[in-house]
Structure 1
Amino acid sequence: MSFASHQSQPDRYQELYTNFQWHVPEQLNIADVCCARWADTPSRIAIHYEDDEGKTATFTYSELHHQANRLAAVLQGLGVSKGDRVAIVLPQRPETAVAHIACYRLGAVAMPLSILFGPDALEYRLQNSEATVAVVDQAGLQNLLDTRANCPSLRHVIAVECATGDMLDWHRELAAAADSFDPVTTLATDPAVLIYTSGTTGAPKGALIPHSAIIGNLTGFVASQNWFPQEGDVFWSPADWAWTGGLMDALLPSLYFGMPILGYRGRFSAETAFHLLEKYGITNTFLFPTALKMMMKAVPAPRDRYTLKLRAIMSAGEAVGDAVFNWCETALGVPPNEMFGQTEMNYIVGNSIHQWPAKPGSMGRPYPGHRVAVIDDEGNLVKPGETGEVALNKTDIHGYPDPIFFIGYWKNPEATRNKYTGDWCRTGDLALVDEDGYLWYQGRADDMFKAAGYRIGPSEIENCLVKHAAVANVAVVPKPDAERGNIVKAFVVLTPDVVRGAEGDQRLIAELQAHVRGKLAPYEYPKEIEFIDALPMTTTGKVQRRVLRLLEQERAAKP
């Protein structure tokens, strides 16, 4: 099926977009709508679990509810109260969902942290958030141990199958706790989640997400998943549940609808992905373009080898591109729905292949309930075909407050103010809108970039590299890459005492890469390092990353 044949499908967009209205109750708690209301059906499955060693488990909504009650009681006994931050340093596993639901029932703020974070990345977030309790398993244990002494607010650590020293053992604590818990009443506008997002300059910022965001997410989720849920639907995504993509685009919306989601603890590979899709009868998924490219190259004709039940694929993080779009359509039988959003206001633009035609390469149209525009520096709408910044208005087309919005940046009111121009919240992403209302991505307005689906902020990587004795200055930019969209590249100015030489340069490059890999997340280390005599600077002394970014684009364009 080609793009032209999509055009012959019904286009219900205007009807859906114009008629949609938000209904958000004054009191709302994610734990109620994503767990408690489903717990009375004992057989209703919430989570299928598998790890890379072949261990499997099944968790019902009833089990999730009762374990969350027990953990909420434990946390309350440790002094956690409404508004307190609880760090969740866990991979995809049932205990991760339990920890989230427990925090919400307590009125606490869940702060998911990736197990990929090294000590420096963990330390900053734990210090800045003033988290009082952390939940961790073996995957994140050592890095947490390495940083705990520098985090005075962190009074308790609850360890899942890895308790050591003064840590509390998850199973022992839950076994001794009460099975019932009187939940704290929360407003829809109360904080529920704190997710740190990398910035262009300065340290990562903590985006405080309200309970209402689960409602604000739903139009995009339902549309991009081809009207989820339907009978027999099973969801899976390799997206880390510590990130917005895994938490708000996979785990929580699946639980909101009372449907099962697969949690897989292990490294992603194309073969593993197809194995899981077939074994668990996955119908709906969120796969980054990088993952789809890997699957396309590894198994060009998947339906010749696997029995698949896929009916919807959402993809985000970078452009899917014609080759992957066509492969999904022909080889999998499922055209992908591209989506665009960010932590601060997620799931705002995208496609829904059965409701309106997709244009391969386009970000799609604003999802119902979200008033999206492309604006100039003054906040004025630009004309179709002109490039501007993608922005979301505080209210929908009917004047009702959009529930998707974040509350603000944690302890950073200036950054929160700078996010807005009037009632428009800026995304920092450039796009043009065509005559049909489709948005086309044109790049970042700042120095942020995506690499293999991960949002990369140069500042944290540069700060890490500068701490190395051999580095005088550094600039991090994206280098175009056919597989990952971009890779992280660092232009490094060395200190005068460093002796240069081909063999020594290679050793130093490996040393600098290991230096970053050991302190930040693996996806943040520079896969390529180029030594340079001086960085391009403005007259006021600011690094011109744009010059280096254009240099890499020019190099990539050469045959």
Structure 2
Amino acid sequence: MPVSQASDKAAPVSSSQWPAAYARLHQQFAWHVPRHFNMAQACSARWAAAPGASKRIAVCAYSTGAKAQNYSYAELQSQANRLSNVLVGLGVQRGDRVAIVMPQCFETAVAYMAVLQMGAVAMPLSMLFGPEALEFRLHNSEAVVAICDATNLDALATARAACPALKSVIGVGPASATQQGGTLNFAKALAQAPAQFDLVNTLADEPAVLIYTSGTTGNPKGALIPHRALIGNLSGFVCSQNWFGFDPFGTAPQGALPTGSKAVFWSPADWAWTGGLMDALLPTLYFGRPIVAYNGRFSPQTALELMGQCQVTHTFLFPTALKAMMKAYPGSARRTVQAQFGLRLEAMMSAGEAVGDAVFGYCQAQLGVTPNEMFGQTEVNYIVGNCARLWAPKPGSMGMGYPGHRVAVIDEAGKECPVGVPGDVALNRFDVHGHPDPIFFLGYWKNPSATAEKYTGDWCRTGDLAVRDAEGYLWYQGRSDDIFKAAGYRIGPGEIENCLVKHPAVANAAVVPKPDRDRGALVKAYVVIAPDFIAACADGTGARAQLEAQLTAELQTHVKGLLAPYEYPKEIEFVDALPMTTTGKVQRRVLRLQEEARFAAA
């Protein structure tokens, strides 16, 4: 995808022009994947070698109540070179797995660049993982070194006993200053290492990252991502970020560095997951722009203050985060949230769950930006979505296939479904021109049978259901195991959840089937009450029980008035919080299994 040196902004395509513009994008788009490609060279080394590297900001470390600390691309590359030399000294070789158990911070970016540029495989692990989760992934991957934040060293030490391949641990932070227990201190080790390193000229098809899926069914599977996958991400990233500050109609010489953008990116997405690594950190660095790193708990206030103070122009926010903002800061027509916090957003991508029309409208009216929904998964990331700059998003729609990706809704036999018929969202190995799509993962680590099951011919199945409308937009129906039947009707939880969240009393909601002997299943909703309504229960449990009874009737009537009669929740259970994955998705499966266990025990 050409990136120009033209103006930061270009006029959006009009509603009458976008179908032609979208079709033209697909027909004119062509992948340019060199035989040799290295993510770290594209994201750091080339910028460090360019003029002004010591002034170009790579990472802006934000801390509440303190001045942000900026790190340049020159500093990023110098530190990455030092760490690469340390890892070589520890015996890390090309293709070895190196675990990275780190939060959003400058050292994490250094770790990724260091591992990738030496041809080793970066294995991100969440800071939320306990010893058992760490042990499974470290043992299964046969990681040889772990780079770990000091706060997680105890959990890592517990897991390490069962991981014989793990020879060395590098601790990051003051608490790891001592080298007890075989832990090498990050800062001390880098200070003693050379600042020069010869980058390994990796093949584009070589493995770069090993990311373990969330494991909602069975043990987690390690998805092996090649260096070329970053190239495959770029068309979706640029579209979902409204061209990331570049001119969508400009051109640039082949191989020229992309310049002209003034984008500043931030997302609360953990850099240990696909959404944070492949959708935020790496593509931002690829375009030579600053990314804000915040190592702290998410809150609506902190997020809004951060985006205002750091002049963030582009972001990726989960629907869960947007719902929390909408409830905490509803704003008004007289004074919007955008004005209150001085937001300068030019684009917002959202993914993980469907963005309903309530949240969609809030973003437009209060945050001053139209959200671009995106869909993808670790194995085939950033393949479907919207681009408000070039085609019109429909509230609640997943969007359409991004340039370079041939996406379809298919049935069990691998045939494309007609308009309006639900099926599995799938990606073909080849684009519309018959050329290989670089986004594809290499396969599941040490699990060829699971890799084979992912495909039907040249179609890679996502396991997510959708319907396609007459204009080509996809509408999410849920995971294949989230869809259920109640009283003979096919129920998709997303639409009901979206409807519930529109009620001012609801902060979040999840819908699952409740087993029923007569009707097979009933629609049940788990609801988190908004904080303002909780305050009304301060007088005691009687007041809370009365509120819940009142809200149950209100919410049932609310859904009946907006959706089909068979979709309203026959039962509502109020909870303090919903079970969530570490990537911010509601774990409906946990609630569904809970209902099945209750039914079996009754």
- 1:349 matched residue in structure 2: 384
SS at structure 1 position matched to 2:341: coil
1:248 is aligned, of 265, 271, 278, to: 278
Which piece of structure 1 moves more, 158-167 or 480-489?
480-489
Asked if residue 155 in structure 1 is aligned to residue 164 in structure 2, the reply is: no
Q: How does 1:124-135 map to 2 (within 5 A)?
A: 124-135=136-147
Q: CA deviation at 1:259?
A: 0.3
- 2:493 matched residue in structure 1: none
In 2, are the aligned partners of 1:489 and 1:526 still within 8 Å (CA)? Answer: no
Q: How many residues align?
A: 481
Task: Describe the shift of the 1:535–1:74 C-alpha distance in structure 2 as closer, same or farther (beyond 3 A).
Answer: farther
Task: Describe the shift of the 1:490–1:59 C-alpha distance in structure 2 as closer, same or farther (beyond 3 A).
Answer: farther
Task: Describe the shift of the 1:490–1:45 C-alpha distance in structure 2 as closer, same or farther (beyond 3 A).
Answer: farther
Task: Describe the shift of the 1:528–1:10 C-alpha distance in structure 2 as closer, same or farther (beyond 3 A).
Answer: closer
In 2, are the aligned partners of 1:200 and 1:448 still within 8 Å (CA)? Answer: no
Asked if residue 111 in structure 1 is aligned to residue 150 in structure 2, the reply is: no
TM-score, normalized by length of structure 1? 0.81
In structure 2, C-alpha distance between the alignment counterparts of 1:427 and 1:295, rounded to whole Å: 30
Runs of 4+ in structure 1 deviating by more than 3 angstroms, as ranges, are 5-11, 51-56, 446-449, 479-491, 519-537
Q: CA deviation at 1:10?
A: 3.8
Q: CA deviation at 1:43?
A: 0.5
- 2:477 matched residue in structure 1: 442
Asked if residue 196 in structure 1 is aligned to residue 231 in structure 2, the reply is: no
Q: CA deviation at 1:447?
A: 5.8
Q: CA deviation at 1:295?
A: 1.0
In 2, are the aligned partners of 1:199 and 1:448 still within 8 Å (CA)? Answer: no
In structure 2, C-alpha distance between the alignment counterparts of 1:222 and 1:520, rounded to whole Å: 22
In 1, are the aligned partners of 2:84 and 2:197 still within 8 Å (CA)? Answer: yes
1:378 is aligned, of 389, 409, 413, to: 413
- 2:573 matched residue in structure 1: none
2:367 is aligned, of 332, 343, 346, to: 332
In structure 2, C-alpha distance between the alignment counterparts of 1:531 and 1:24, rounded to whole Å: 49
1:122 is aligned, of 134, 137, 160, to: 134
SS at structure 1 position matched to 2:231: helix
- Report Cα offsets for 1:466-486 as digits up to 9, x if no partner: xxxxxxxxxxxxx96844453
Task: Describe the shift of the 1:112–1:55 C-alpha distance in structure 2 as closer, same or farther (beyond 3 A).
Answer: farther
In structure 2, C-alpha distance between the alignment counterparts of 1:251 and 1:489, rounded to whole Å: 38
- Report Cα offsets for 1:154-178 as digits up to 9, x if no partner: 1100001132512000011101111
Q: Identify unmatched segments of 5+ residues in structure 1.
A: 450-478, 492-512, 538-547, 549-559
In 2, are the aligned partners of 1:289 and 1:318 still within 8 Å (CA)? Answer: yes
TM-score, normalized by length of structure 2? 0.75
In 1, are the aligned partners of 2:385 and 2:402 still within 8 Å (CA)? Answer: yes
Asked if residue 271 in structure 1 is aligned to residue 287 in structure 2, the reply is: no
In structure 1, C-alpha distance between the alignment counterparts of 2:149 and 2:415, rounded to whole Å: 49
1:421 is aligned, of 452, 456, 463, to: 456
SS at structure 2 position matched to 1:47: strand
Asked if residue 298 in structure 1 is aligned to residue 328 in structure 2, the reply is: yes
Q: Which amino acid aligns with 1:201?
A: T
SS at structure 1 position matched to 2:293: strand
Q: CA deviation at 1:208?
A: 0.2
In 1, are the aligned partners of 2:318 and 2:584 still within 8 Å (CA)? Answer: no
- Report Cα offsets for 1:302-333 as digits up to 9, x if no partner: 13412111110000011110111011111122
Q: CA deviation at 1:52?
A: 4.8
Q: CA deviation at 1:530?
A: 5.0
Task: Describe the shift of the 1:520–1:220 C-alpha distance in structure 2 as closer, same or farther (beyond 3 A).
Answer: closer
Q: CA deviation at 1:526?
A: 6.0
SS at structure 2 position matched to 1:305: helix
Which piece of structure 1 moves more, 223-232 or 91-100?
223-232
In 1, are the aligned partners of 2:419 and 2:467 still within 8 Å (CA)? Answer: yes
Task: Describe the shift of the 1:521–1:329 C-alpha distance in structure 2 as closer, same or farther (beyond 3 A).
Answer: closer
In structure 1, C-alpha distance between the alignment counterparts of 2:586 and 2:158, rounded to whole Å: 20
Task: Describe the shift of the 1:229–1:142 C-alpha distance in structure 2 as closer, same or farther (beyond 3 A).
Answer: farther
In structure 1, C-alpha distance between the alignment counterparts of 2:392 and 2:583, rounded to whole Å: 41
- Report Cα offsets for 1:348-367 as digits up to 9, x if no partner: 00000110111111100000
- 2:149 matched residue in structure 1: 137
SS at structure 2 position matched to 1:347: coil
SS at structure 2 position matched to 1:107: coil
Asked if residue 19 in structure 1 is aligned to residue 28 in structure 2, the reply is: yes
- 1:259 matched residue in structure 2: 289
SS at structure 1 position matched to 2:244: coil
SS at structure 2 position matched to 1:195: strand
Asked if residue 167 in structure 1 is aligned to residue 202 in structure 2, the reply is: no
In structure 2, C-alpha distance between the alignment counterparts of 1:177 and 1:526, rounded to whole Å: 47
- 1:184 matched residue in structure 2: 200
1:392 is aligned, of 389, 406, 427, to: 427
SS at structure 1 position matched to 2:109: helix
- 2:223 matched residue in structure 1: 207
In 1, are the aligned partners of 2:465 and 2:477 still within 8 Å (CA)? Answer: yes
Which piece of structure 1 moves more, 481-490 or 68-77?
481-490
- Report Cα offsets for 1:121-148 as digits up to 9, x if no partner: 1110000000010001133222112211
In structure 1, C-alpha distance between the alignment counterparts of 2:471 and 2:92, rounded to whole Å: 50
Q: CA deviation at 1:201?
A: 3.3
